[in-house]
Amino acid sequence: MSNHKHDAKGPRLIQSREETEGGQRVTQAKGPKMIIGWREWLALPDLEIPAIKAKVDTGARTSALHAFDITPFEENGVNFVAFNIHPLQGNDEVSIACTAPLVDRRKVTNSGGQTQKRYVIGTTLQIAGRTWPIELTLTNRDEMKFRMLLGRNAMSGRLIVDPNLSMQTGGKTAAAIYKEHIKGEI
């Protein structure tokens, strides 16, 4: 059973509990599940990215972040990767230099059916004030409409996607957010 709760200031939440009726197990949510749309504004606070528009894709297992100038390195026996991103679609003036722990290097099949070997980083996702750890693959998404793809693994147990909805998490425009975080006009 689920209890629906609507918050006038943000996305709807669904409270879940574990059930084992008829031998079927219903997964317990990590807190109330948030209903989001097919595209949303997210933040990646560990990477100092205050806002990035993501396509929410239940057909993709892994999440991907647009990155360029990707450079792996080791420091004190720990593997990291440095990279740059342009977080705003159609705007290459805003560039953020990032460094993150390197989790792995994996083969990922993209939407075109091509297999690529990608760096995988561990970071924190923030959406509508809620945060949790996720893994992101780094790839050049210059030709793609969205700078980030949020896949199933990052959503599991926390989010429900309603494809009829879009931009449910509210908030300021990306331009306003970046003007607050980066000196100068964009």
Q: Has residue 58 been placed in a domain?
A: yes
SS3 readout for 99-122: EEEEEEEEEEECCCCCEEEEEEEE
Task: Write the CATH number for 64.
Answer: 2.40.70.10
Q: Has residue 5 been placed in a domain?
A: no
What is residue 105's predicted lDDT score, i.e. its pLDDT? 96
Residue 117 confidence class, pLDDT cut points 50, 70, 90: very high
Range of the domain at 147: 36-181
Looking at the whole model, is its pTM more than 0.85? no
For 16-38, how does the pLDDT look when each residue is reduced to its tens digit (9 = 90+)? 444 434 444 444 446 789 999 99
Distance CA 184, CA 47 (A): 20
Q: Has residue 6 been placed in a domain?
A: no
Q: Has residue 56 been placed in a domain?
A: yes
> Residue 35 in contact with residue 11, Cβ under 8 Å?
yes
Q: Has residue 89 been placed in a domain?
A: yes
Domain count, the chain: 1
For 34-87, how does the pLDDT look when each residue is reduced to its tens digit (9 = 90+)? 999 999 999 999 999 988 999 999 989 999 999 999 999 999 999 999 999 998
Q: Has residue 14 been placed in a domain?
A: no
Q: Has residue 28 been placed in a domain?
A: no
For 133-171, how does the pLDDT look when each residue is reduced to its tens digit (9 = 90+)? 999 999 987 777 889 999 999 999 999 999 999 888 765
